[in-house]
C-alpha cells in the first residue's frame, strides 16, 4: 500500500498489509517509483488497484508494474494521466476501470469476511454541508480509511 500519510500506512500495517510505501510530497517522481518497486518481491507488481485514481497515483502505479501486469482504476479523483503507449504492447500491460463488481464477487467477499475475520478500514463521518472539507482532507492525505458523508 502506498500513501502520502504515515498514519494511514501505520493503520494499514496494523490491519495486515504486507508492505507500505510512503509517497511523501518531498519525493521526486523517479524516487517515488523506485521505492515503490523495491516493495515488490521482484522489482515490479503483477497488479495495482488505484483507489485514488489521480494523475500522480495512476502514473506511479503504472510505472511500478512489470510485464504482463494489470492496473485497476477504482477511484474517482479524476484528472488525466500520461502513459507510454508502446509499454502496453511490449509490456503486455492492461489498464481496467472498475465501478462495481459482479454478484459472485460479492459472495466471495462475504465469504472472506466471514472466515478471514478482516476488519473494515477506519471511517470518519461528515455532515453533507462538510463534504468539501472532507474532500480537502482526502486531497491533503489527512484521513485514515474512508470518509462517509451522512445525509
Which set of grid coordinates corresponds to residue 36? 515503490
Q: Which residue has the cell 510512503?
A: 22
- The stretch 44-63 carries a mean pLDDT of 92
CATH architecture of 1-99: 3-Layer(aba) Sandwich (3.40)
For the chain, the structural domain boundaries read 1-99, 104-151
SS3 for 77-137 is CCCCCCCCHHHHHHCCCEEEECCCCCHHHHHHHHHHHHHHCCCCCCEEEEEHHHHHHHHHH
Q: What is the mean pLDDT of the chain?
A: 89
Model confidence over 93-145: pLDDT tens digits?
Answer: 999 898 877 888 878 878 887 787 677 788 899 999 999 999 999 888 888 88
- CA-wise closest residue to 28 among 17, 18, 38, 36: 36
Amino acid at each position: 500500500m502506498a500513501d502520502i500519510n504515515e498514519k494511514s500506512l501505520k493503520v494499514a500495517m496494523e490491519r495486515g498489509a504486507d508492505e507500505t510505501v510512503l509517497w511523501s510530497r518531498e519525493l521526486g517522481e523517479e524516487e517515488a517509483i523506485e521505492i515503490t518497486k523495491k516493495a515488490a518481491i521482484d522489482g515490479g507488481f503483477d497488479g495495482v488497484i488505484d483507489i485514488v485514481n489521480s494523475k500522480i497515483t495512476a502514473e506511479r502505479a503504472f510505472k511500478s508494474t512489470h510485464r504482463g501486469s494489470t492496473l485497476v482504476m477504482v477511484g474517482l479523483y479524476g484528472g488525466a494521466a500520461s502513459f507510454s503507449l508502446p509499454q502496453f504492447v511490449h509490456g503486455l500491460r492492461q489498464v481496467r476501470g472498475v465501478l462495481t463488481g459482479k454478484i459472485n464477487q460479492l459472495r466471495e467477499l462475504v465469504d472472506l469476511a466471514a472466515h478471514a475475520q478482516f476488519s473494515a478500514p477506519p471511517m470518519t463521518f461528515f455532515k453533507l454541508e462538510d463534504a468539501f472539507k472532507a474532500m480537502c482532507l482526502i486531497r491533503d492525505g489527512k484521513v485514515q480509511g474512508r470518509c462517509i458523508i451522512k445525509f
